[in-house]
Homo-oligomer: A and B are copies of this chain.
Amino acid sequence: MRCVIVWATWAVWQEMLSVLATKKIVLQTLDLAWSDRSAWKVIQTYLWPKTVIACQSIDFSHYDVALFAAGSDVSKEFVPRAIASWCRVIDNASLFRYDEHVPLVVPCVNKWSIWSASLIANPNCTTAIAAVVLYPIYQKFGIKTCIMSTYQAASGAGAAWVEELDAQLCAYPQTIDKYTVFPHALACNVIPRIDAVQENGYTKEEMKVVWEMRKIFADPDLAVSCTAVRVPTMRAHAESITIQTTTPIDASVLHEIRSNNPHVLVVDDPSKDIYPLPRTAQWTYPVQVGRIRQSLVFGEYGVDLFVCGDQLLRWAALNAVEILEEIM
């Protein structure tokens, strides 16, 4: 298998190479492409030193798969080129996610949709983390309604935001009010807006959860609502989720469902202070789930739960590499 990773940031680059190494994935070729400006730079990774090639000069016919980790602008220009050269594409950007001809894939949910596709979209991290946990419930009990409030890490907004939070925390308490990339100081705060505000008042991040959950579960009638909130954590997102099921659900059986799922780690003994935490979920592959409770609102037709997953891994790196594994 010959692969090229197109236009990742340094952080995502490292994550992808780390996941490829951890999973011992053998590739005939692995090239890294960036802007013309960055071409011929040598990226010293712990795997191997690698000379960056320029996006403009890529001959996609030399590759079997291109992993696009760029924004929608880069995807718009280069993804059609790759496909025209019979190079299959895994795209992290949101550009093609809502195209009805493009499968949106979380491998443990809908890997069947990968087989014949020349372009596969990688979902938003918030959706991917929830989908991994909710799909086994969806399969066994059916889900009618999903109401979510998030606790999202700075890394979801990019490296500059992590650096700004880090700088605010380092300076605490003196200069904690300094911020340039965040709209407000994030240290000692929570910011209830992520991405652009849509006409209906929800943010794009919130609507991504709605649109993508429906598409991944292939259920356009799924009722989903989300309030997306940035909190001062570094790289793991947490989500408080209430679901209403179509058939009765017993909170106690969920423990068993989870324990047979390698993508999920049940951490649910709250009286012993065992529950999902951003600081224990970061840098790990499984999505943590805990605080599983029979719903006080939907009764036997619902549960409340709390999940936590490393957003950089789940979104950009791990999910994309899992799709690559399926293609291989």
| A234 near B188: Cβ-Cβ < 8 Å | yes
Say yes or no for A304: interface residue by CB 8 A criterion. Answer: yes
Residues of B within 8 A of A295 (CB): 225
Nearest chain B CB to A130 CB, angstrom units: 14
**1/0 contact string of A182-208 vs chain B (CB within 8 Å):** 011101111111001100111100000
Nearest chain B CB to A220 CB, angstrom units: 13
| B227 near A192: Cβ-Cβ < 8 Å | no
Say yes or no for A100: interface residue by CB 8 A criterion. Answer: no
Interface centre among A223, A240, A294 (most CB of B within 10 A): A240
With an 8 Å Cβ cutoff, the count of chain A residues facing the other chain is 57
| B190 near A233: Cβ-Cβ < 8 Å | yes
Q: Are A291 and B227 CB-contacts (below 8 A) given A149-B240, A202-B296, A277-B191?
A: yes
- A233, closest chain B residue (CB): B188
- A226, closest chain B residue (CB): B296
- A183, closest chain B residue (CB): B273
Say yes or no for A292: interface residue by CB 8 A criterion. Answer: yes
Residues of B within 8 A of A240 (CB): 149, 192, 227, 229, 240
Contact residues of A: prevailing secondary structure: mixed
**1/0 contact string of A154-171 vs chain B (CB within 8 Å):** 000000000000100110
Scan residues 291-308 of chain A and give those whose CB is less than 8 A from a CB of chain B.
Answer: 291-297, 304, 306
- A210, closest chain B residue (CB): B296
Tell which of B200, B225, B304 touches A297, judged by Cβ atoms closer than 8 Å: B225
Report how far A234 CA is from B169 CA in the complex, Å.
14
**1/0 contact string of A206-232 vs chain B (CB within 8 Å):** 000010000000000001110101011
Residues of B within 8 A of A276 (CB): 192
- A291, closest chain B residue (CB): B192
Tell which of B166, B184, B271, B293 touches A277, judged by Cβ atoms closer than 8 Å: B184
Number of copies: 2
Q: Are A238 and B192 CB-contacts (below 8 A) given A147-B297, A297-B145, A297-B224?
A: yes
Residues of B within 8 A of A227 (CB): 149, 240, 242, 291, 304, 306
| B173 near A229: Cβ-Cβ < 8 Å | no
Q: Could you pull out 6 A-B pairs where Cβ atoms are within 8 angstroms?
A: A166-B173, A169-B172, A197-B270, A225-B296, A227-B291, A229-B238
- A307, closest chain B residue (CB): B192
Say yes or no for A109: interface residue by CB 8 A criterion. Answer: no
| B151 near A201: Cβ-Cβ < 8 Å | no
Nearest chain B CB to A289 CB, angstrom units: 11
Residues of B within 8 A of A123 (CB): none
Say yes or no for A279: interface residue by CB 8 A criterion. Answer: yes
- A234, closest chain B residue (CB): B188
Say yes or no for A107: interface residue by CB 8 A criterion. Answer: no
Nearest chain B CB to A270 CB, angstrom units: 5
Say yes or no for A309: interface residue by CB 8 A criterion. Answer: no
Say yes or no for A290: interface residue by CB 8 A criterion. Answer: yes
Report how far A165 CA is from B270 CA in the complex, Å.
21
Residues of B within 8 A of A142 (CB): none
